[in-house]
């Protein structure tokens, strides 16, 4: 018999799925469970403190585990087999959010019957305690591992008593603290606080460490008080623990320790403040920049927690002759990355830096950039990129061959804008391919049309043609059209694609006269590219040609015509596509399936459902995807059959995705059991589909 059952809820904790295994384990039938609120079905949920675990998973998206050693069960019911120690089935319960794209649509809860396992653990608990005091460290280690994994509550309780009473036994103490640190599901808080207030400094130190490891925020208050402990080693570990707990309440006390400039404690206090990450404390850290020993950790901390207010003091330090340039550049880069992530405003930090920096600060950065043997120059290149000067641009140009720095160098040069166009254009003929590549990409980023003729010239360079086409697209200079049209017949599909993309952004819609004749070119590559351009612009003048090209001798041309027909909005398109998905070669049938998915007509659904039974796997795959785009409830049954019978998992995944898109009450029942599929991709798709299923239909 299956030992794991599953149920799901919607966002109001109303039960949506109650599977067969769960019905068998608990004796509660699907009929009695479905549509009930969790609290109606399990009335003592709130009283036992479990409702908040459900709510936390729902509100914060976290996975909650109810450990049997502590909670024993979620759904009260008799054990399946007889036991000596338990009158109720012992259950391990996992509560996980069901996610829609960006929200939580409900919960999925697994209930595992672990009664037998715990029965055996009870028998083992007593000898393990004895093993913890064994003289042989290997025996102790094994015992620690055993108890940590099993966490039988009786064993832990006995262990804590032993620690308090026998702290002079170092073997037992160390082993016990390891267990405490690992057994996060048990309430070890009060015993540890007792140890923290005890007379033995070693024990206090270990207790502080364990309280930090437990990640229990109740510990913050007692740890803050322990910052006044008489023993410096205890204080050190208390500071560390507060950092691990991210104790915002402790930042003032920690800042005071940092300000004391006692290296032993200030250093660890700065580290803890970095972990806590409270930006309010930054101004108090700034004065430490003039402390020789604490300067670097202070710089790093300011990079991590500071706001725009720390740019000036950091840059002032960078302007001094002995500035720790790497650390300051690293902090400014961290700060700008954070501003970019939070506000999309990396540029603001760049502007402030560039306003504050002096020529000697720039020189420090240039010297660091040229220093030999440096591996990580990203931060320095990034900061230099904020500074617009010809000297900086030339220095950056010298690094253009560095593949590892390419993004930063290109970004930096692009920020210089049109002033560097001449310098970059001169690099288009450099001997090093990577230098030429960086130059063409940077020119594209700058987008100055005056560089277009030089970039058109390198369209003949096989290694750079795609980057050049992309760059021309960004420059928007129609004079590049002829050069790009020369590429649409290339034998390389990537080059054709790059040229078509560039042309799509360069050609004025009025230039359709240049494209229509190419639909009849003798070269199939040219016809295929011309179809893609005509389809992109939706030229009505191209409709007849596209219908005709859907019967082209060349398969790729037929695929392109089929895929682009929906965009020219011609009434013949539907018939052509329906015919193609039934009668064409496999690749063209797959293209027809994709194209049908983009059409609104209700007549597309039936051919797509038939496509689910095609001989070719990729026709089935794209038919399944297309039905999702159509969101047709009439396809649910057929997609359900795909999930049951299809041998290829990617097609089952496509069907699951589509069922999620279609939504509705029926979906949950079809996909629920797949959340435990052996293939994680299938299980993930099933979870997504379940998450969405409550919202559609």
Residues forming contacts to other proteins in the complex (CB under 8 A) are: 404, 406-407, 410, 441, 444-445, 466-467, 470, 492-494, 497-498, 501, 556, 559, 587, 590-591, 594, 617-618, 621, 648-650, 653, 681
Least distance to other proteins, CB of residue 494, Å: 4
* C-alpha–C-alpha distance, residues 1 and 599, integer Å: 48
Least distance to other proteins, CB of residue 5, Å: 29
- Neighbouring residues of 372: CB distance < 8 A, sequence distance ≥ 6: none
* Minimum CB distance to other proteins smaller for 294 or for 409: 409
* Minimum CB distance to other proteins smaller for 46 or for 404: 404
Q: In degrees, to the nearest 5, what angle opens at C-alpha 160 toward C-alphas 154 and 164? A: 150
Least distance to other proteins, CB of residue 450, Å: 21
* C-alpha–C-alpha distance, residues 1 and 25, integer Å: 9
Q: In degrees, to the nearest 5, what angle opens at C-alpha 685 toward C-alphas 683 and 687? A: 70
* Minimum CB distance to other proteins smaller for 92 or for 556: 556
Least distance to other proteins, CB of residue 258, Å: 32
Half-sphere exposure of residue 618: CA atoms within 13 angstroms, side-chain side: 9
Least distance to other proteins, CB of residue 622, Å: 8
6 sits in which H/E element: strand 4-10
- Neighbouring residues of 526: CB distance < 8 A, sequence distance ≥ 6: 488, 489, 518
Least distance to other proteins, CB of residue 648, Å: 5
Q: In degrees, to the nearest 5, what angle opens at C-alpha 667 toward C-alphas 661 and 21? A: 140
Least distance to other proteins, CB of residue 653, Å: 7
Alpha helices in 7-150 (DSSP H): 20-26, 30-33, 38-41, 51-60, 68-71, 115-132, 137-150
Which of 602, 599, 646 is CA-nearest to residue 624?
646
Phi then psi dihedrals of residue 159, to 5 deg: -65, -45
Least distance to other proteins, CB of residue 302, Å: 25
Return the HEC string of 446-486: HCCHHHHHHHHHHHHCCCCHHHHHHHHHHHCCHHHHHHHHC
Q: In degrees, to the nearest 5, what angle opens at C-alpha 434 toward C-alphas 428 and 435? A: 40
Which of 193, 201, 195 is CA-nearest to residue 229?
201
Least distance to other proteins, CB of residue 404, Å: 8
Least distance to other proteins, CB of residue 207, Å: 36
* C-alpha–C-alpha distance, residues 74 and 55, integer Å: 15
* C-alpha–C-alpha distance, residues 240 and 268, integer Å: 7
* Minimum CB distance to other proteins smaller for 467 or for 614: 467
* Minimum CB distance to other proteins smaller for 142 or for 555: 555
Torsion sign over Cα 547, 549, 551, 557: negative
- How buried is 47 (Cβ within 10 angstroms: 0-12 exposed, 13-18 middle, 19+ buried)? exposed
* Minimum CB distance to other proteins smaller for 357 or for 413: 413
* Minimum CB distance to other proteins smaller for 527 or for 556: 556
* Minimum CB distance to other proteins smaller for 64 or for 646: 646
Neighbours of 427 (CB within 10 A): 21
> What angle do helix axes 115-132 and 170-182 make, rounded to 10 degrees?
150
Q: Which two tokens stand for residue 693?
A: 């299923």
* Minimum CB distance to other proteins smaller for 3 or for 650: 650
Least distance to other proteins, CB of residue 394, Å: 22
Beta bridge partners of 110: 6, 94
Least distance to other proteins, CB of residue 124, Å: 33
* C-alpha–C-alpha distance, residues 375 and 364, integer Å: 17
Least distance to other proteins, CB of residue 190, Å: 43
Torsion sign over Cα 533, 535, 541, 546: positive
DSSP-based three-state secondary structure for 8: strand
* Minimum CB distance to other proteins smaller for 269 or for 533: 533
* Minimum CB distance to other proteins smaller for 497 or for 695: 497
Least distance to other proteins, CB of residue 651, Å: 8
Query: Are 113 and 80 within 8 A, CB to CB?
Result: yes
* Minimum CB distance to other proteins smaller for 441 or for 605: 441
* C-alpha–C-alpha distance, residues 351 and 356, integer Å: 9
Torsion sign over Cα 301, 307, 308, 312: negative
* Minimum CB distance to other proteins smaller for 447 or for 669: 447
Least distance to other proteins, CB of residue 461, Å: 15
* C-alpha–C-alpha distance, residues 427 and 436, integer Å: 6
Query: Given its phi and psi angles, is residue 186 left (phi above 0), alpha (psi -120 to 50 degrees) or beta?
Result: beta
Least distance to other proteins, CB of residue 549, Å: 16
* Minimum CB distance to other proteins smaller for 71 or for 532: 532
C-alpha Rg value of the chain to the nearest Å: 34
* Minimum CB distance to other proteins smaller for 56 or for 378: 378
* Minimum CB distance to other proteins smaller for 585 or for 601: 585
Which of 693, 577, 697 is CA-nearest to residue 17?
693
* Minimum CB distance to other proteins smaller for 195 or for 464: 464
Least distance to other proteins, CB of residue 318, Å: 26
DSSP string, 110-127: EEEE-HHHHHHHHHHHHH
* C-alpha–C-alpha distance, residues 195 and 571, integer Å: 82
């Amino acid at each position: 018999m299956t030992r794991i059952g599953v149920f799901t809820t919607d966002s109001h904790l109303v039960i949506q799925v109650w599977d067969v295994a769960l019905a068998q384990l608990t004796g509660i039938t699907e009929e009695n469970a479905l549509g009930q609120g969790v609290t109606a079905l399990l009335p003592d949920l709130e009283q036992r403190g479990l409702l908040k675990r459900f709510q936390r998973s729902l509100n914060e998206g976290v996975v909650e585990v109810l450990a049997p050693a502590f909670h024993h069960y979620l759904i009260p019911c008799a054990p399946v087999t007889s036991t000596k120690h338990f009158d109720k089935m012992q259950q391990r319960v996992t509560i996980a959010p069901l996610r829609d794209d960006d929200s939580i649509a409900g919960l999925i809860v697994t209930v595992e019957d672990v009664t037998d396992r715990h029965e055996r653990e009870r028998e083992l608990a007593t000898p393990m305690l004895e093993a913890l005091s064994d003289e042989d460290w290997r025996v102790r280690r094994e015992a620690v591992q055993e108890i940590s994994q099993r966490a039988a509550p009786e064993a832990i309780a006995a262990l804590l008593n032993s620690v308090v009473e026998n702290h002079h036994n170092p073997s037992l103490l160390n082993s016990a603290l390891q267990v405490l640190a690992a057994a996060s599901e048990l309430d070890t808080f009060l015993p540890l606080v007792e140890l923290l207030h005890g007379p033995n400094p070693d024990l206090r130190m270990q207790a502080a460490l364990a309280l930090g490891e437990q990640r229990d925020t109740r510990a913050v208050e007692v740890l803050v008080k322990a910052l006044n402990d008489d023993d410096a080693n205890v204080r050190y570990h208390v500071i560390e623990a507060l950092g691990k707990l991210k104790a915002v309440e402790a930042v003032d006390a920690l800042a005071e320790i940092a300000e004391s400039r006692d290296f032993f404690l200030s250093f660890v206090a700065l580290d803890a403040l970095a972990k806590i990450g409270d930006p309010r404390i930054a101004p108090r850290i700034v004065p430490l920049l003039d402390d020789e020993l604490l300067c670097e950790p202070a710089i790093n901390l300011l990079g991590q927690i500071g706001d725009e207010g720390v740019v000036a003091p950091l840059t002032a330090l960078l302007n001094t002759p002995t500035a720790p340039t790497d650390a300051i550049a690293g902090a400014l880069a961290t700060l700008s990355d954070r501003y970019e992530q939070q506000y999309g405003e990396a540029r603001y930090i760049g502007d402030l830096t560039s306003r504050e920096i002096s020529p000697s600060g720039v020189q420090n950065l240039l010297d660091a950039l040229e220093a030999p043997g440096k591996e990580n120059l990203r931060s320095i290149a990034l900061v230099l990129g904020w500074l617009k000067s010809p000297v900086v641009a030339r220095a950056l140009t010298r690094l253009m061959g560095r593949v590892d720095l390419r993004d930063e160098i290109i970004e930096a040069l692009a920020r210089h804008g049109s002033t560097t166009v001449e310098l970059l254009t001169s690099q288009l003929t450099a001997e090093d391919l990577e230098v030429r590549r960086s130059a063409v990409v940077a020119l594209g980023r700058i987008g100055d049309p005056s560089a277009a003729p030089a970039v058109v010239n390198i369209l003949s360079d096989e290694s750079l043609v795609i980057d050049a086409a992309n760059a021309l697209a960004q420059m928007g200079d129609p004079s590049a059209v002829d050069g790009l049209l020369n590429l649409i017949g290339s034998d390389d599909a990537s080059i054709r694609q790059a040229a078509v993309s560039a042309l799509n952004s360069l050609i004025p819609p009025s230039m359709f006269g240049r494209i229509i004749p190419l639909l009849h070119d003798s070269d199939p590559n040219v016809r295929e590219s011309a179809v893609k351009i005509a389809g992109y612009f939706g030229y009505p003048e191209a409709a007849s040609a596209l219908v005709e090209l859907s019967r082209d001798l060349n398969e790729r041309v037929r695929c392109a015509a089929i895929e682009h027909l929906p965009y020219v909005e011609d009434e013949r398109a539907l018939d052509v596509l329906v015919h193609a998905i039934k009668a064409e070669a496999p690749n063209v049938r797959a293209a027809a399936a994709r194209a049908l998915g983009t059409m609104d007509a209700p007549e597309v659904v039936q051919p797509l459902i038939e496509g689910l039974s095609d001989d070719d796997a990729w026709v089935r795959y794209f038919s399944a995807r297309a039905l999702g785009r159509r969101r047709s409830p009439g396809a649910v049954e057929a997609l359900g059959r795909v999930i049951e019978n299809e041998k290829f998992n990617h097609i089952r995944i496509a069907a699951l995705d589509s069922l999620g898109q279609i939504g509705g009450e029926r979906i949950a029942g079809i996909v629920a059991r797949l959340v435990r599929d052996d293939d994680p991709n299938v299980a993930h798709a099933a979870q997504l589909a379940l998450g969405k299923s409550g919202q559609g239909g």
